[in-house]
Amino acid sequence: MEKQRLFTGLQPSGDLHIGNYFGALKPFLDLYPKYESFLMVADYHSLTSLRDPDTLQRNILNVVRDYMAVGVDPEEVVIFRQSDNPDHTELAWVLNCMVTVPFLQQGHAYKDKVAKGLEPNVGLFTYPILQAADIVLYDTDVVPVGEDQRQHLEYTREAVGKFNRAYKETLKEPETVIVEGVGIVPGTDGQKMSKSYGNVIPLFGESNEIEKAVMSIVTDSEGNIPENVLAIHKLFRDEDELLSLYEKNAGKYGELKKILSADINSFIEPLKAKRARITDSEVREVLAEGARKAKEVSQSVMERVRDTIGINLN
């Protein structure tokens, strides 16, 4: 039986944090063997907030190294860069012509980021449509997302539906696979962990960096159990075991944070060792092969689109 196709991606906008791991990487690790899987480095998406070319280049190499370090096998998954395939931006333009400005203005992510002080540039505004193009360009069947990202897939399905109704049934509407319990990983301030909020715990940070981040977790001085600390700790230990530990150390916030820091470091150390062995040249080879495989799929989809809209001359 032929496998369904799965697609996901992650921006190279900075060093990965544990929110990226539990919110995107781990769900992908659990799912990808069941599908024909595509994993995209969303480097064009990162331009909405990152304006440093040297940093971007370093981040691109590092994010692929990170994927490989946590267990993604490039022999089993197509790992590629968005910018290595111009079909993404071409299809995004076509889909931009299908949707309205009021429709995009409803975007939760756009409104939230602008409220947090991010510049409301056009790329940020139309981000959901480039994301839609990323997904449907590979005849994607399923996209794994957390509950907080459900709207992104709704945008994709809406854009595809409008295209298919305007012309003919050409693009596949993907299904959403909601990954329960991992969509929103809390940051050190209790909000969703995000680089743009400055509330992250680095995935591959040095032990002192991780400890510093953990010690900065905001706690409720009125309670005996620091809920923000516990919410993060549940990612690394069994909840029943933790409840006993937290009751035993009730009110000892500093002690509980030290235990959390040690648990995170213990989890990360073998991943860091594997990551250190992956060279830049290996990463470049993976991306080159991934781009070749990705284009084989996307070019046939774009030919269908060009035929449908009349760009291809008979």
Can you give the residue ranges of every domain in the chain?
A: 5-184+280-309, 205-275
How much of the chain, in percent, has pLDDT values that exceed 70? 96
User: Is a pLDDT exceeding 60 seen at residue 48?
Assistant: yes
CA distance linking residue 25 with residue 45, whole number of Å: 18
- Quote the pLDDT of residue 111: 82
Nearest to 302 by CA among 40, 79, 94, 157: 94
Nearby residues of 56 by Cβ (< 8 Å), 6 or more positions away: 12, 43, 46, 50
CA distance linking residue 213 with residue 232, whole number of Å: 12
User: Which pLDDT tens digit goes with each residue over 139-171?
Assistant: 999 998 766 667 778 889 999 999 999 999 999
User: Is a pLDDT exceeding 80 seen at residue 196?
Assistant: no
Q: Stretch 7-15: mean pLDDT, rounded?
A: 86
Top CATH class, 5-184+280-309: alpha beta
Nearby residues of 52 by Cβ (< 8 Å), 6 or more positions away: none
Give the Å distances, CA to CA, from 83 to 41, 149, 173, 235, 278. Answer: 9, 23, 23, 33, 22
The larger pLDDT score, comparing residue 64 to residue 184, is at 64
- Quote the pLDDT of residue 292: 98
pLDDT bin (cut points 50, 70, 90) of residue 182 is low
Where does residue 290 rank: exposed (0-12), middle (13-18), buried (19+ CB within 10 A)? buried
Q: How far apart are the first and last CA of the chain?
A: 36
What is the dihedral angle through the alpha carbons of 294, 299, 302, 304, rounded to the nearest 10 degrees?
-120
Mean pLDDT, rounded, of the chain:
91
- Quote the pLDDT of residue 250: 87
- Quote the pLDDT of residue 205: 92
- Residues annotated as part of the active site: 113, 192, 195
Give the Å distances, CA to CA, from 303 to 40, 298, 314. Answer: 21, 9, 12
What is the 3 state secondary structure string of 41-108? ECCCHHHHCCCCHHHHHHHHHHHHHHHHHCCCCCCCEEEEEHHHCCHHHHHHHHHHCCCCHHHHHCCH
What is the dihedral angle through the alpha carbons of 46, 49, 51, 54, rounded to the nearest 10 degrees?
-50
Read off the pTM.
0.85
Q: Stretch 168-196: mean pLDDT, rounded?
A: 83
On whether the CB atoms of residues 41 and 60 are closer than 8 A, the answer is yes
Q: 30-34, 42-46, 168-172, 200-204: lowest mean pLDDT where?
A: 30-34
Give the Å distances, CA to CA, from 51 to 47, 83, 174, 257. Answer: 6, 16, 32, 35
CA distance linking residue 141 with residue 171, whole number of Å: 11
* 6-30 burial: b if 16+ Cβ within 10 Å, else e: bbbbbbbbbbbbbbbbbbbbbbbbe
- What's the alpha-carbon Rg for the chain, to the nearest Å? 21
DSSP 8-state code for residue 199:
-
- Quote the pLDDT of residue 22: 87
pLDDT bin (cut points 50, 70, 90) of residue 27 is confident
Q: 4-8, 158-162, 246-250, 276-280: lowest mean pLDDT where?
A: 246-250
pLDDT bin (cut points 50, 70, 90) of residue 194 is confident
Q: Stretch 28-38: mean pLDDT, rounded?
A: 90
- Quote the pLDDT of residue 14: 78
Q: Stretch 42-66: mean pLDDT, rounded?
A: 94
User: Which pLDDT tens digit goes with each residue over 199-256?
Assistant: 999 999 999 999 999 999 998 766 678 889 999 999 999 988 998 999 899 889 999 9
User: Which pLDDT tens digit goes with each residue over 87-128?
Assistant: 999 999 999 999 999 989 888 778 887 787 778 889 989 999
- Quote the pLDDT of residue 183: 57
User: Is a pLDDT exceeding 70 seen at residue 179?
Assistant: no
- Quote the pLDDT of residue 223: 67
How much of the chain, in percent, has pLDDT values that exceed 90? 68
- Quote the pLDDT of residue 156: 93
Two structure tokens written together for 307? 């035929």
